[in-house]
Chain A
Amino acid sequence: NAGVMQNPRHLVRRRGQEARLRCSPMKGHSHVYWYRQLPEEGLKFMVYLQKENIIDESGMPKERFSAEFPKEGPSILRIQQVVRGDSAAYFCASSPQRVGYAEAFFGQGTRLTVV
């Protein structure tokens, strides 16, 4: 059973470009969570999705950021018109249940660098 797969591992974008981060959850997991980690900090919740539904996006900036988890295919975190402040590591986690009642399995993260 493959773990949570995130790609790309590293992504460099110029200011104003779009960044698309992909997350394939573990087999059988229908809950996906995106977190952002700034240097020297813990993770900050961004968005929680179940298949085809956004359950909670309260941690995601209202502008330029969007997330989806389609019926088929990976979950996508999309950042439009990136700025330097978007540079961070973005982690995806998946679980068979809500995180509070099960361990969340994390991917290796995507390190986004905006130049």
Chain B
Amino acid sequence: AQTVTQSQPEMSVQEAETVTLSCTYDTSENNYYLFWYKQPPSRQMILVIRQEAYKQQNATENRFSVNFQKAAKSFSLKISDSQLGDTAMYFCAFGDSNYQLIWGAGTKLIIKP
């Protein structure tokens, strides 16, 4: 069965710093998708970035980028120039040829002014 592990329950950094959130997963599939979702205090689940496993190039969305290491089954999220509005829970999720999203337990990120 697929599993997703986020080993950092909580992280905090100063505003404008760079922070990296880690995520590892386990699967026997070869084709799959990986996602990072952000859940601010409003509880809305917001897609931050998506990576397709067959693409070697790491996905980037403005200040957000990933380091996708397929062989190591690692999918970390880097947030550059962090802002106060980045404070939220961040969830890593895995989606394969099936339709379920398998979720990690989340990392609480606090950006300090």
Which one of A31, A44, A56, A100 lies within 8 Å of B103 (CB-CB)?
A44
CA distance A35 to B91 in the complex (A): 14
Q: Let me know if B99 and A33 touch, CB within 8 A.
A: yes
Tell me whether A43 and B105 are in contact (CB under 8 A).
no
Contact with A along B83-98 (1 / 0, CB 8 A): 0000000010101111
Are A99 and B43 in touch, CB under 8 angstroms? no
CB of B110, distance to nearest CB on chain A (Å): 15
In chain A, residues 65-90, which have Cβ atoms closer than 8 Å to a Cβ of chain B?
89
Q: Do A100 and B105 touch across chains, with their CB atoms under 8 A apart? A: no
Return the chain B residue nearest A50 by Cβ.
Answer: B99
Cβ contact within 8 Å between B91 and A100? no
Residues of B within 8 A of A56 (CB): 99-100
Task: Find B99's partner among A41, A42, A100, A109 (CB 8 Å cutoff).
Answer: A100
Asked whether A55 and B99 contact (CB < 8 A) given A42-B91, A108-B42, the answer is yes
A-B contact count (CB 8 A): 66
Q: How far is the CB of B28 from chain A (nearest CB, A)?
A: 15
Chain A residues positioned under 8 Å from B43 (CB to CB) = 89, 108-109, 111
Contact present for A100 and B98 (CB under 8 Å): yes
Contact A42 B44 (CB under 8 A): no
Which residue of B is nearest A103, CB measured? B47
CA distance A56 to B65 in the complex (A): 33
Cα distance A40–B47 in the bound complex, in angstroms:
19
Partner of A100, one of B33, B42, B44, B45: B33
What distance in Å separates the Cβ of A87 from its nearest Cβ neighbour in chain B?
Answer: 15
- Mask: chain B, 27-53; 1 = CB below 8 Å from A; 0 = not: 000001101010000111111001000
Can you report 18 residue pairs joining A to B where beta carbons are below 8 Å apart?
Answer: A33-B101, A42-B103, A42-B104, A43-B93, A48-B100, A55-B99, A56-B99, A56-B100, A98-B98, A100-B99, A103-B35, A103-B47, A103-B50, A105-B47, A106-B44, A106-B45, A108-B42, A109-B44
What 4 pairs between A and B have smallest CB-CB spacing?
A42-B103, A106-B45, A100-B95, A98-B99
